[in-house]
């Protein structure tokens, strides 16, 4: 059976020593009373819930899956899931960072980020049930009417009800402009929706009394394409004036997808048969609400892979210390045993260090983005709000794509550490690989994230936002450029920072002449940008650790941090050179291939 221990020490390091979150957020009136002890207590209790309540359900949930009653369209979740959700609600976790006006605790988003990382490590399939609610909540909080907020937000905040995002359809995938679901206006101002949706995570279940679906659909006079999409609230049960549940609505689960992983989550085919709904925002402006949901989901999906990277690493490390096989190439290390633990072998260490470097780098980036999100929403200075939102917009596709690609690399590497045992279900490693694989696909595939980054976030403003991140890199380089102990971190980072401007300009110029050049370069480009961002945070983490060591701190945590940073820059960061070369190879070798596909 797998193991999991919440990485509280590293979370505290990033929060208090690297980002100094409590000091930073105290400048926001909303968090004026925040202190490190409160943050640490929340993390500790959240870790207990993840490790003790939902982690023991991960393997059984994967084995049992969800069951659909085709007569009633009701879905039963795996054994223990519903009881665990009741404990989750009882502990007040759904509203951790929610608006106090609607029953939330109003704590910083970074604490919710850490809670969800731990829950994703423990049980991604279970965590998706409450997790999908956050995107629906955010869309309603931003675009809902006062009546809609009063009707739905409190019970979504407290966890009494969950939410979903009903976006795609069988024929359109991510191209939502092709959707066919219709919404017919009614005399009372409501709408009747008819159509089919697929791949709806947590779309039907038995864990809450009601499910609030946010559905994209077309009005009868809607213009074609994405400009003709509207957003609607469609509850599983209609809600009476007094807040009680009324009649069953005409929205139901027509089938469950049979999937590679996340078996414990109900990925539903949703049928709308004249379902009652109310409009969110303006007609034909549904993409505004959709992007609120999608951006929240994209950060959340990156967090899913972060969680799986961490738990896969922990299990692979424990196995590598215990499993004996062959002798070290440099001579026996465990002379009292017939063979050495496999952790003495260089390539085993490489696989372990890869997962660790990607987990700790991803954690720093994810927590940084959470702070940006709070600043974008709550800072008193309009310029800070705007700058934070702009930076978050740049980093969101990197969080989604780079962290999930790294999760794929890491979970596979950690399974490899187990050798043949990793391929066997009882060890739990193959489940981490299977569960992670969807993260590279949904909420916009990683190729779409790459096109978003290069086309919309970088080239559309001539790299202005990227240059703002470059200034952060430049400040660190200026601060540590003459420090010999930081040279192995600063020099490669500075070099890539300089190369990035030239690289971006070159791709942009070629794309101006031929748009396919952007498509050909985008995936490689995002990965280069991801390493630039990770390199910045790894250099900063090394900086903090080296200062502690220089001050006489003998905590081995800091030496481990430096050693992991050293590995990252020596073995993973150099990937950028080959990526830039392949990106510059252009589109011709891809597009001038008709004979291949004839």
Q: What is the DSSP string of 522-553?
A: HHHHHHHHHHHHHHHHHHHHHHHHHHHHHTT-
pLDDT at 289: 85
Predicted confidence (pLDDT) per residue in 178-236, tens digit: 889 999 999 999 999 999 999 999 999 999 999 999 999 999 999 998 899 999 999 99
For residue 211, being part of any structural domain is answered with yes
Q: What is the pLDDT of residue 118?
A: 98
Residues 451, 580: one domain? yes
Show which of 284, 312, 340 is a domain's final residue: 284
Domain count of the fold of the chain: 3
The CATH number of residue 102's host domain is 1.10.540.10
Angstrom distance (rounded) from CA 185 to CA 277: 10
Mean pLDDT for 276-281 is 97
CATH number at residue 180: 2.40.110.20
Segments forming the whole domain that contains residue 476: 446-589
The residue that leads in pLDDT, 354 or 135, is 354
Residue appearing with tokens 């689960």: 253
Beta-strand pair 161-166/210-217: parallel
pLDDT tens for residues 332-367? 999 999 999 999 999 999 999 999 999 999 999 999
Element (H, E) at 332: none
Taken in order 463, 465, 469, 474, the sign of the CA dihedral is positive
d(CA 478, CA 285): 45
**How many other C-beta atoms lie within 10 A of the C-beta of residue 33?**
8
In a domain, residue 406? The reply is no
Residues 123 and 17 in one domain: yes
Residues 22 and 111 in one domain: yes
Closest of 452, 448, 584 to residue 510, by C-alpha: 584
If asked whether residues 17 and 126 sit together in one domain, one would say yes
Contact in structure between 377 and 110 (CB atoms under 8 Å): no
pLDDT higher than 90, residue 408: yes
CA dist 389 to 162, 301, 314, 383, 392, Å?
Answer: 27, 19, 34, 10, 5
What secondary structure letter does DSSP report for 232? E
Judge if 131 and 256 occupy the same domain. Answer: no
What average pLDDT does the segment 557-569 reach? Answer: 98
The one-character DSSP state at 266 is -
| Domain match, 85 and 220 both | no
Is residue 137 a part of any domain in this protein? Answer: yes
Catalytic residues, by residue number, are 443
Looking at residues 73-88, what average pLDDT do you find?
Answer: 98
Are 39 and 105 spatial neighbours (Cβ–Cβ below 8 Å)?
no
pLDDT at 173 over 80: no
**Does the pLDDT of residue 291 top 90, yes or no?**
no
Q: d(Cα 206, Cα 85) in Å, to the nearest integer?
A: 10
Residues 239 and 123 placed together within one structural domain of the fold: no
Please say if the pLDDT value at position 383 is more than 80: yes
57 belongs to a structural domain: yes
Same domain, 119 and 166: no
* Domain closes at, from 235, 260, 284: 284
Residue 59 and residue 180 in one domain: no
Q: Is residue 580 part of a domain?
A: yes
Q: Is pLDDT of 412 > 90?
A: yes
Residues 250-257 have a mean pLDDT of 98
Assess whether 486 and 575 both reside in one domain.
yes
Q: What is the pLDDT of residue 239?
A: 98
- pLDDT of 176 strictly over 80: no
In the predicted model, is pLDDT for residue 290 greater than 90? no
Q: How many CB atoms lie within 10 A of CB 529?
A: 29
- Torsion of the alpha carbons at 357, 362, 363 and 368, rounded to the nearest 10: 130
| Residue 153 within a domain | no
DSSP-derived pairing of the beta strands 210-217 and 191-201: unpaired
Q: How high is the pLDDT of residue 458? A: 97
Question: Which of the listed residues 284, 302, 332 is the one where a domain comes to its end?
Answer: 284
Are 438 and 305 within 8 A, CB to CB?
A: no
The closest of 128, 132, 144 to 277, measured between CA atoms, is: 144
* pLDDT tens-digit readout, 37-63: 999 999 999 999 999 999 999 999 999
- The answer to the question of residue 156 being in a domain is no
Could you tell me which residues come within 8 angstroms of residue 328 by beta carbon, excluding any fewer than 6 positions away?
A: 340, 344, 345
pLDDT attached to residue 67 = 98
Q: What is the pLDDT of residue 391?
A: 97
Looking at every residue in the chain, the average pLDDT score rounds to 96
Co-location of 491 and 533 in the same domain = yes
Q: H helices within 460-515, ranges in order?
A: 464-480, 487-513
pLDDT at 175: 79
Task: Please indicate, yes or no, if residue 304 is contained in any of the structural domains.
Answer: no
- 120 with 210, same domain: the answer is no
Q: What is the mean pLDDT of residues 506-517?
A: 96
Give the mean pLDDT of 279-289. Answer: 93
Torsion sign across C-alpha atoms 85, 45, 267, 293 = positive
At residue 177, does pLDDT exceed 80?
Answer: no
Of all residues in the chain, what percent carry a pLDDT higher than 70?
A: 100
């Amino acid at each position: 059976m797998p193991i999991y221990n919440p990485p509280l020490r590293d979370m505290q390091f990033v929060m208090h020593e690297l980002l100094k979150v409590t000091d930073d957020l105290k400048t926001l009136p909303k968090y004026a009373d925040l202190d490190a002890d409160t943050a640490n207590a929340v993390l500790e209790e959240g870790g207990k819930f993840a490790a003790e309540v939902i982690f023991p359900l991960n393997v059984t949930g994967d084995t049992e899956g969800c069951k659909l009653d085709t007569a009633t369209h009701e879905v039963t979740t795996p054994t223990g899931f519903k009881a665990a959700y009741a404990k989750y609600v009882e502990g007040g976790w759904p509203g951790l960072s929610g608006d106090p006006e609607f029953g939330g605790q109003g704590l910083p988003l970074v604490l919710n980020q850490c809670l969800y990382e731990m829950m994703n490590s423990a049980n991604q399939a279970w965590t998706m049930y409450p997790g999908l609610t956050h995107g629906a909540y955010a869309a309603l909080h931003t675009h809902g009417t006062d009546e809609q907020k009063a009707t739905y937000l409190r019970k979504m905040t407290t966890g009494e009800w969950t939410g979903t995002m009903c976006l795609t359809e069988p024929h359109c995938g991510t191209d939502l402009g092709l959707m066919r679901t219709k919404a017919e206006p009614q005399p009372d101002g409501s709408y009747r929706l008819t159509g089919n949706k697929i791949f709806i995570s947590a779309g039907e279940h038995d864990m809450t009394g009601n499910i609030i679906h946010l559905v994209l659909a077309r009005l009868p006079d809607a213009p074609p394409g994405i400009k003709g999409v509207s957003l609607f609230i469609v509850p599983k049960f209609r809600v009476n004036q007094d807040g009680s549940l009324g009649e069953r609505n005409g929205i139901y689960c027509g089938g469950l997808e049979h999937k590679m992983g996340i078996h414990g989550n109900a990925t539903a085919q949703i049928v709308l048969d004249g379902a009652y709904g109310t409009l969110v925002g303006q007609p034909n402006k549904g993409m505004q609400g959709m992007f609120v949901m999608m951006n929240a989901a994209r950060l959340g999906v990156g967090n899913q892979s972060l969680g799986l990277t961490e738990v896969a690493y922990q299990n692979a490390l424990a196995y590598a210390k215990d499993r004996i096989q062959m002798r070290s190439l440099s001579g026996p290390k465990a002379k009292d045993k017939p063979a050495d633990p496999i952790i003495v072998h260089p390539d085993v260490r490489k696989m372990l260090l890869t997962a660790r470097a990607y987990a700790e780098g991803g954690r720093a980036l994810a927590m940084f983005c959470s702070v940006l999100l709070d600043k974008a929403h709550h800072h008193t200075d309009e310029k800070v709000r705007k700058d934070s939102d702009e930076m978050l917009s740049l980093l969101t596709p990197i969080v989604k794509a780079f962290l999930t690609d790294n999760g794929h690399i890491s979970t596979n590497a950690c399974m490899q550490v187990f050798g043949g045992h990793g391929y066997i279900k009882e060890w739990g490693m193959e489940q981490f690989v299977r569960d992670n694989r969807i993260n590279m696909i949904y909420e916009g595939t990683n190729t779409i994230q790459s096109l978003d980054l290069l086309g919309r976030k970088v080239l559309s403003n001539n790299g202005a936002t990227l240059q703002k991140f470059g200034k952060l890199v430049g400040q660190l380089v200026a601060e540590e450029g003459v420090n010999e102990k930081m040279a192995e971190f600063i020099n490669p980072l500075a070099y890539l920072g300089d190369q990035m401007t030239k690289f971006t300009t070159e791709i942009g110029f070629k794309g101006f002449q031929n748009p396919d050049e952007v498509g050909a370069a985008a995936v490689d480009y995002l990965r280069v940008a991801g390493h630039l961002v990770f390199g910045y945070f790894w250099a900063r983490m090394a900086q903090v650790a080296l200062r502690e060591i220089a001050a006489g701190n003998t905590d081995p945590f800091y030496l481990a941090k430096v050693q992991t940073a050293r590995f990252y820059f020596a073995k993973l960061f150099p990937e950028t050179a080959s990526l830039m070369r392949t990106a510059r190879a252009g589109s011709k070798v891809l597009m001038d291939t008709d004979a291949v596909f004839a």
